[in-house]
Amino acid sequence: MRTEAPHDALLAASDMPPLLTQFSLTHALASPLPKWKAMQTSLAGQARALGIQQSAAGPAANPDDAAFVLAHPALSSIQARYTSPAEWLPVASLSELLVQAACGIMSVHGRASGKAQPLGVNYLAALTSAMALQATLAAAVGQLRGGTFREVRVSPLGCGLLSIGQYLAGATAPEDREQLLPGGTDARLRPPFRSADGISFELETLDSGPWRCFWESIGIGRDLAGAAWRAFLLRYARAVSPLPAECHEALADLPYERIRHLAEQAGVATVPVRTAAQRRQDADYGQMEDSPWDFSLPSAIPEQQEAARERKAAAGSLPLAGVKVVESCRRIQGPLAGHLLALLGAEVIRLEPPGGDPLRAMPPCADGCSVRFDALNHLKHVQEVDIKSAAGRRLIHELVGESDVFLHNWAPGKAQELMLDAAHLHRVQPRLVYAYAGGWGNAPVAAPGTDFTVQAWSGVADAIATASGTHGGSLFTVLDVLGGVLASLGVTAALLKRSVEATGVQVESSLLGAGDLLLRSSEDRAAGLLRGVHPTRSGLIAIDCREPAQLQSLSALLDLPASSTPSPALLTERLRRLPASEWEPLMISRGIGACTVAEDLGLVAADSRFAECLDHRAYSFVKSPWSFP
Amino acid sequence: MSILVVVPTLLRPLTNGEKRVSAQGSSVAEVIDHLEGQFPGIKAKLVHGDRVHRFVNVYINEDDIRFADGLDTPVKAGDTLTVLPAVAGG
């Protein structure tokens, strides 16, 4: 056992060379996703942050229709391809707008934003490119563990569906099924709030006591405060939060500083809704150098011969088969990260408090377990442990001693307090990948790092609100989900570093880092000639025309003047002739990017075209969006 | 006074699978004590000392008892007491 002091044991991230320096990634010269440029831009940014060298090459280097190829001197090159269900849109037609329409994101976002509509940021570009990169790096890990993984296939629709998997579970549960449709709640009654001096802000507390004190201090009676609490609790699970109008009105009469002071006294956090430009001026934003990850290595790298001790892959068709992960995570971001690792074949042991995670009880339930919980955790083994006890710590040390990854999302400082921080666990297992999926990264914010506070602080809420015509971000948990994806990509990259160099790795990611990445991925907003969501005789249709020929075809189909972009009024009038479900095939057959907007998640689950992406037990859940042929 | 109690999925093994049961009492505490007499073990799942468990919400009709008088909140015949898991945050 080594004896470094915990605080000196890690090489600081700023001193650390890029993580995956010997890897190179060649992008196809002609993208297989010509309508979705942001996907490649986001992928390139993430690969750069991981230290992977990149270039673009012609067909000789990128055979067939591979989107990109990953190479390393010790590996067979790995080709990555995008796929799409045969009965649905071909890969070449996919775009941010169309996949958001199909997978149900517009539906979930619409629950509190007034109507089904796009997020207005390149969310699926950031998410899908991270998942494409993750599968490719996992394949490299699989090769180094003795497998033959030379190709990965990634379904952008599958990634989109996975992002709303919890809501899909809630909408298809056998009892107490959630039937929440876009526009079902008053968009004006949801948080954030607005002060008398015009500042938009979020309130956050995880406890009802401070909430009650706060509202009492501004003159809201406890009955109303109780009704407000009930609505406030719906945000995370159901993406709605219709608070009593009196709450908004009371805050609208007070200046922000007064509200902030009263909230602080009551123990409720306030976080202002800021712009992306404000976020970019933060010192911690610059320090992260456009990377959502902070990697560091234990200062004493174990002897090279430890590489020989690498456990070889268990026989299996998935690249992380035989990799053992211990997860101590609550709620969404961390559990999703563990779920993705499990989908790639890892054995995930989930630590839960004695009696089990309280979220297991959140309705709707199937077979005695919350379907929302089950959607993220059904592939894991559960070990109940009191992490605060000495016996619990011993058990965790034993588990970590025979594991490859430890992943947690505890509050800041708790790992050190429990003596379960990287320095301690690297002593138990020097080659451990120690991962922390946090909220705020290095930002000096004294508020719970939750989806909605981080959306507000990062500029994501402002970007979504501006695009959606609402006063706040999305109540779809955009950052919990993207943060979970980025955390698992960080873990996979660290596993690859470890496989190559036989070293332990520490990786930190955060909701805020996910928000920053999302906004960087959204700078490249392809304008398009005509893109948006339109009403029809029945249902909404998303139309995405990028080329003049597509617009001409649309004009011919709708009897519109061919010379210019049609006026919204005329377009709406013509689209009233048929339902969205009939327009869709007519448009697709003419080469026009179009997709019916999924408004009812129950219908998404039942859509036979998406059958390969979904499975149905007591509720509908999303299968792995990856395959390794 | 008869109070209708709506039991969450996880506690139904204690109520022989029943989703709705009836109980007597003039306060939430009394209703829970009466429930315990019918379904031993249920009280420990709902209260700890003189407080409702942190991860449990108890509503009388639509009102969270934490925003009323807690376990002393009065109930009357025909009221519905609903138990729901309580977890805030994402």
Which amino acid does the sequence have at A417? E
Whether A302 has a pLDDT exceeding 60, the answer reads no
| Dihedral sign for Cα atoms in the order A477, A478, A479, A483 | positive
| Omega within 30 of 0 (cis) for the link into A192 | yes
Q: Chain B partners of A223 at a C-beta cutoff of 8 Å?
A: 63, 67-68
Please, is A166 exposed, middle or buried when counting C-beta atoms within 10 Å of its C-beta (0-12, 13-18, 19+)?
Answer: buried
In a domain, B68, yes or no: yes
Whether B50 has a pLDDT exceeding 90, the answer reads no
ipTM of the complex: 0.88
Whether A534 has a pLDDT exceeding 80, the answer reads yes
Q: Chain A partners of B85 at a C-beta cutoff of 8 Å?
A: 358-359, 361-363
For residue A336, give the chain B residue with the closest CA.
B90
Q: Chain A partners of B13 at a C-beta cutoff of 8 Å?
A: 368
- Expressed as residue numbers, the domain containing B13 is 2-85
The whole-angstrom distance between B84's CA and the closest CA on chain A is 8
Question: B1 and chain A: CB distance < 8 Å anywhere?
Answer: no
- Contacts across the A-B interface (CB distance below 8 Å): 75
Q: What is the structure's pLDDT at A3?
A: 34
Say whether B87 and A358 touch across the interface (CB within 8 A).
yes
Whether B61 has a pLDDT exceeding 70, the answer reads yes
Q: What is the structure's pLDDT at B86?
A: 77
Q: What is the structure's pLDDT at A556?
A: 94
Q: How confident is the model over A456-492, as pLDDT tens digits?
A: 999 999 999 999 999 899 999 999 999 999 999 999 9
> How many structural domains compose chain B?
1
Report residue A529's pLDDT band, with 50, 70 and 90 as the boundaries. confident
Q: Give the DSSP H or E segment for A43.
A: helix A37-49
Give residue for tokens 């890690």. A10
CA torsion angle A52 A521 A568 A111 (round to 10): 120
In a domain, B69, yes or no: yes
In a domain, B90, yes or no: no
- C-beta separation of A181 from A109 below 8 A: no
Which amino acid does the sequence have at A164? I
The whole-angstrom distance between A55's CA and the closest CA on chain B is 39
The DSSP symbol for A199 reads -
Q: What is the structure's pLDDT at A310?
A: 53
Question: A474 and chain B: CB distance < 8 Å anywhere?
Answer: no
Q: Chain A partners of B90 at a C-beta cutoff of 8 Å?
A: 235-236, 331-333, 450-452, 477, 480
Say whether B10 and A451 touch across the interface (CB within 8 A).
no
Mean pLDDT to the nearest integer, A591-612: 96
Question: A167 and chain B: CB distance < 8 Å anywhere?
Answer: no
Whether A628 has a pLDDT exceeding 70, the answer reads yes
Q: Chain B partners of A451 at a C-beta cutoff of 8 Å?
A: 90
**Residue A56, SS3 per DSSP:** strand
Say whether A212 and B9 touch across the interface (CB within 8 A).
no
Could you give the C-alpha distances from A456 to A231, A278, A354, A392, A584, in angstroms and in order? Answer: 19, 11, 34, 37, 36
Give residue for tokens 């519905």. B80
Q: How confident is the model over A383-393, as pLDDT tens digits?
A: 999 999 999 99
In a domain, B73, yes or no: yes
Q: What CATH number is associated with residue B58?
A: 3.10.20.30
User: What is the C-alpha to C-alpha distance for residues A38 and A18, in angstroms, rounded to an integer?
Assistant: 24
Mean pLDDT to the nearest integer, A407-427: 95
Whether A614 has a pLDDT exceeding 60, the answer reads yes
In a domain, B10, yes or no: yes
Whether A301 has a pLDDT exceeding 70, the answer reads no
User: What is the C-alpha to C-alpha distance for residues A94 and A96, in angstroms, rounded to an integer?
Assistant: 7
Nearest residue to A340 via CA among A162, A494, A141: A162
Report residue A9's pLDDT band, with 50, 70 and 90 as the boundaries. very low
In a domain, B30, yes or no: yes
Q: What is the structure's pLDDT at A11?
A: 45
What does DSSP say about strands A614-616 and A620-622: parallel, antiparallel, or unpaired? antiparallel
Q: How confident is the model over A136-149, as pLDDT tens digits?
A: 999 999 999 999 99
pTM: 0.94
Q: Chain B partners of A365 at a C-beta cutoff of 8 Å?
A: 8-10
Say whether A229 and B63 touch across the interface (CB within 8 A).
no
Report residue A506's pLDDT band, with 50, 70 and 90 as the boundaries. very high
Whether A10 has a pLDDT exceeding 70, the answer reads no
Say whether A363 and B85 touch across the interface (CB within 8 A).
yes
In a domain, B59, yes or no: yes
Mean pLDDT of chain A: 92
**Residue A384, SS3 per DSSP:** strand
In a domain, B22, yes or no: yes
